[in-house]
Structure 1
C-alpha cells in the first residue's frame, strides 16, 4: 500500500472521528458508569472528553504528514562480482497490542501501525469495551470506504483464557506483541506468549536533587511530574543529595510544598534520622513500586554514584531526572542511568511520542531491543536485505 492510499484512509478516519465526537463520548460514558470512581488513576485513563477526541484527531492528522519511510534504502553495497546489495526498511507485518483502560490507544496505536505498513490486532481492557468497539467500528468504516480490508485493524473481544490461548499458539500469526500496562499484564504476556514481546508501560520514575541544584526549579519539576497520576511518565521517587546546602531546612520546605499540593509524602530509610513529622517507610520493596497515585517517596543519597545505583536497581527503566547547575554532573548521570529517557533540568512528563516530535506513539518501550522510549511510526519497522544479480554463485 503506497503512502497516498494510507493517507486517504487516515483522512477518512479523522473525518469520522470529528463527525462522531458526541457518539464517542456517549459510548465512553457507558464505560465510566461501570468504573469504580474511587480508582482515580483508572478513571482518568478511561475518560474521553472533547479534548481527548481532538487529541485522537490530531494524532491521525500528524501521521498523515509524517514521512513514509517504508521502502527507504538504509545501506547500499556493490559486490566485486556485480551483485547489487541493499538494506531497506520494511514493516514488521502484524503487531499485537494488549492494553488497559485507555481507549485513545485504540486510535493512536492503530494509526502508528497502519502508517508504518503493519496490520494490528487490538485487545483492550473490558473496562473500556464500549469505547473501544465504537472506535474500531469507525476504523472499519474508514478502511472499507477506501476499498481496504477490515483485517488491517482487528479487535478481540474475548476472555482472558482465550487471549492466553491466542498468544501462546500465535493464532493470528503476529510478528510482535506489545503489552501496554502494569506489571501484572506484562508478566502475563511474557509467561504465555510465543510471540516476540516488546515491554512497555511501567514507570516508577526517579528525580535526583543534586547538591548544586536550583531548588525552586526542582520543586517545580517535581510538582509537574505528579500533574497526572495515571500515566507511566509520572514521578514517584525523589532522591536528595545529602550534601545539598541547608539540607534539613530544604527537606522541611520540600515536604510542606508537596503536602500543600495534595501529595501524600513519605520518607524512606535514613530519612528517620531527621526526626521530621513524616511517615517513614523502611521496606526496600517500596523503591520498585509504581504508585499511579498521589503518593511520593523521598530518600537520601550520599553521592552521585549511589544515586545512579539506586535508580538502576529500582526504576522501571522509563525516565529519570537530575536537577543540577553542573553540566558535567548531569552528563555523567545521563550516560550512566539505565533508562529510556534521561533528563537534565526537565520533567519526566515530556516522555511522550508527541512531545518528542513523533506523530504519536504505540507505546513507550522500557527495554533495549528493538527500540527504546516512545515508539512512533518509524520505530515500528524492521529491515530486509534486497540482493539483485545475474546468475552469480559463490
Structure 2
C-alpha cells in the first residue's frame, strides 16, 4: 500500500491537474470526437454522457480546483474519550486504501470521481467503458503527468484496460488489494458488479424519480418543476420519470392539458394510467410494471392518485430510492410527504435535478448512493472515508 500522501502534495497534484486540463483542452475534445464517432449504440443518454465539450472541460477544471481548496477529510477527529484507566481514546477519519471506480461512458468521472477519491487519500483504480477508452486514457496520462511533477508515484491512479471477462475475474479474485468499489452507470452494470464483487460496493442506483402534484399545488410551480426535471438533462439519474396528480386538484383538466402541451413542445412521449390516458396525445401504460422503469429518455408516465398517503405508498413501492418532490402550498402535507417517502433526497416545490454533490453544497460527488450504508445520496469528499481508533496508553492492561 502507498504511504498516505501529505495533504499539500494531494492539493498540488489537483491544482496541476487543473492546469493540464486547460493546456490539453483542445486535444481532449478532439480525442473525444473520435470516441463519439465510433459509438454505434442507440442509447441517447449514453451518447450524452460520453460527449466532452468546452463546458464539460470547464466543469472538470472547476471540480479539481474546488477539491484542492477543501479541508483534508482524512484524520478528522470524530470522537474522543478519556478512559478511567488514563488511556486517551480518539476516533478519526481514515482513507479506505484502494478505491475501484467502474463506469460507463463518462470521461468526466475520470477527473471528478477520481479526484474525490484521490483527495481522500486513496489509490484509484479506474475501469471505464470501451466507448470512452481514448478519452479516458488521455485524462489518465494527465493524472500521471501531474503526479510525476509533484514527485508522487503514478501508481496512485491506474487505468484497467479489461474486457468484460477480465473485469469479472478481477472482481471475483482481485490481483491487488481493493477496499471499495463504486460502480457508475446503468442498472445492468450495477447488477454485474454486485453479483461478482468480493469487497464492499457503494450502490449508485437508478433514478426513476417522482413528482407529486398535491391538490393545493401552485400550478405554475408544478409546470416549471416537471418540465425542468424531465427535459433539462434526460441522461441524468436525477431526471424525472413519473408524475402523480391529486385527483382532487382544482382545474385538474386544464392543468393536465397544459402539461401535455408543454411536454409535447419538448418531444416527450407521454403515457398515462386509465384516468390520464383519455387525454389526447397520451397512450395507456402497457402494464403496471412501467412504474418501476427508469427511462433516461424523452418519455414520462402520468397518473392520478387520491391522497398524499397513497402517493407516498406508490413512490415507496416503485421508485429507485433516489429523489422525489411534492408540489404544494400546504406545509403539513409537505412535511408528511418528506418524512415518509423513502428516497435519498426529498423536495418541496423544487426540481429533482438538484440531487447532485455540487448543487447540494458538497463541491462534487463520487456517486449518488441509493444504499443506506454507509452514506446516502451524493457522496462527497467528507463521506469517502472510513474511521480508525487511536488509543494512547502508558502500559494499561485489561
Q: Give me the TM-score of the superposition, normalised by structure 1.
A: 0.97
Q: Distance in 1 between matches of 2:37 and 2:259?
A: 38
Counterpart for residue 167 of structure 1? 171
Is residue 259 of structure 2 the alignment partner of residue 247 of structure 1?
no
Q: Distance in 2 between matches of 1:154 and 1:277?
A: 50
Is residue 264 of structure 2 the alignment partner of residue 263 of structure 1?
no
Q: Distance in 2 between matches of 1:276 and 1:48?
A: 39
Counterpart for residue 304 of structure 2? 300
Which ranges of structure 2 fall in alignment gaps of 5 or more residues? none
Task: Encode CA deviations 1:281-300: one digit per residue, 9 max, x unaligned.
Answer: 14111011110100011011
Q: Distance in 1 between matches of 2:281 and 2:69?
A: 54
Q: Distance in 1 between matches of 2:292 and 2:42?
A: 24
Which of 375, 378, 397 is the matching residue for 1:393? 397
Counterpart for residue 232 of structure 1? 237
Is residue 30 of structure 2 the alignment partner of residue 26 of structure 1?
yes
Which aligned pairs between 1:204-353 and structure 2 lie closer than 5 A?
204-225=208-229, 226-272=231-277, 274=278, 276-353=280-357
Q: Distance in 2 between matches of 1:255 and 1:35?
A: 33
Cα offset, 1:271, TM superposition: 3.1
Cα offset, 1:391, TM superposition: 1.0
Q: Give me the TM-score of the superposition, normalised by structure 2.
A: 0.96
Cα offset, 1:172, TM superposition: 2.4
Q: Please provide the CA RMSD for this pair.
A: 1.2
Q: Distance in 1 between matches of 2:39 and 2:205?
A: 21
Query: Do 2:81 and 2:88's aligned partners in 1 also have CA atoms closer than 8 Å?
Result: yes
Cα offset, 1:140, TM superposition: 0.6
Counterpart for residue 161 of structure 2? 157
Which ranges of structure 1 fall in alignment gaps of 5 or more residues? none
Query: Do 1:268 and 1:282's aligned partners in 2 also have CA atoms closer than 8 Å?
Result: no
Please state whether the residue corresponding to 2:134 is helix, strand or coil: helix
Q: Distance in 1 between matches of 2:359 and 2:31?
A: 29
Please state whether the residue corresponding to 2:152 is helix, strand or coil: coil
Query: Do 1:95 and 1:121's aligned partners in 2 also have CA atoms closer than 8 Å?
Result: yes
Please state whether the residue corresponding to 1:75 is helix, strand or coil: strand
Q: Distance in 2 between matches of 1:244 and 1:220?
A: 17
Q: How many residues align?
A: 393
* Residues 1:49 and 1:37: Cα distance change in structure 2 (over 3 Å): farther
Query: Do 2:125 and 2:159's aligned partners in 1 also have CA atoms closer than 8 Å?
Result: yes
